Amino acid sequence: MRLGLKCFSKFLAGRAGAALLACAAPALALAQPAPAASAGIYSCVDAQGHRLTSDRVIAECVAREQRVLNRDGSVQRVLPPTLTAEERAEREASERRIELARAGQADAVRRDRNLVARFPNEAAHRKSREAALDTVRLATKASEHRLKELAVERKPLLEEAEFYKGRQIPLRLKQQLDAIDAGVEAQRSAAANQEAELVRINKLHDVELERLRRLWAGAPAGSLPPVQSAPATAKVAPLPANTPSMVRNVSP
């Protein structure tokens, strides 16, 4: 307001030029761009131990730490050394290894906590073991029952084959005997696998129980070595009906 009255009074006094300069000066001052902020002073110590300074990144110190200083000497920021391609690859690989180790440790902690939550005491773990064993025991009984059935089916066929002793038996009869013998072999293989599965289940639960006992005793989750899984037993597929006999020898 005062600036406007001053300009107006000068204008009335006939000093138009002075009035224009007085009014335009503040506007010109506002229109002037502000001084650019300083980018800072780069400082580092080179390989020979010399202190170097510059107004830009120092080429002699690309492999060294460089400090960017303000005008008053305070540190504005610190530039890390520029790594080579090999150094960057190694650092990335190291970071990946650290991340994998961290993730693995987190998984170990989670597994141990889930294990303790699933089996709060030894009775619960024993019940789980027996349930797993009972499944295999039922399969073993089924194989034994099937072997008895095959033996019953095979008996009349063998009696019929006696009539063709020294001669070629009919193709139908031979195929029936071969099918039964293949079934016998398949059931025996299944029984062997089931026996191995019982051993595997007991071993797995023994290792698991030992781990649980240490966790129940207060060992921190994730602090114990990982449990080595027992190898799974192979499953034997039933043999084709036309598989040659493996458990008998019928003369043609």
Query: Could you give the dihedral angle defined by the CA atoms of residues 21, 22, 23 and 29, in that order, rounded to the nearest 10 degrees?
Result: 90
> What pLDDT, on a 0 to 100 scale, did the predictor assign at position 78?
94
Reported as a single tens digit per residue, the pLDDT across 60-119 is 898 889 999 998 989 999 999 888 889 889 989 999 999 999 999 999 999 999 999 999
Reported as a single tens digit per residue, the pLDDT across 162-188 is 999 889 999 999 999 999 999 999 999
Angle between helix 2-12 and 16-31 (nearest 10): 150
> What pLDDT, on a 0 to 100 scale, did the predictor assign at position 88?
83
Q: Is the pLDDT of residue 18 over 70?
A: no
Q: Is the pLDDT of residue 34 over 50?
A: no
Mean pLDDT (the chain, rounded): 82
pTM: 0.57
Q: Is the pLDDT of residue 33 over 70?
A: no
Residues 236, 38: Cα–Cα separation, whole Å: 79
Unique residue bearing structure tokens 């029984």: 191
Q: Domain extents for the chain?
A: 41-79, 92-252
Q: For 164-202, give the secondary structure using H, E and C.
A: HCCCCCCHHHHHHHHHHHHHHHHHHHHHHHHHHHHHHHH
Q: If you average pLDDT over residues 24-36, what whole number do you get?
A: 42
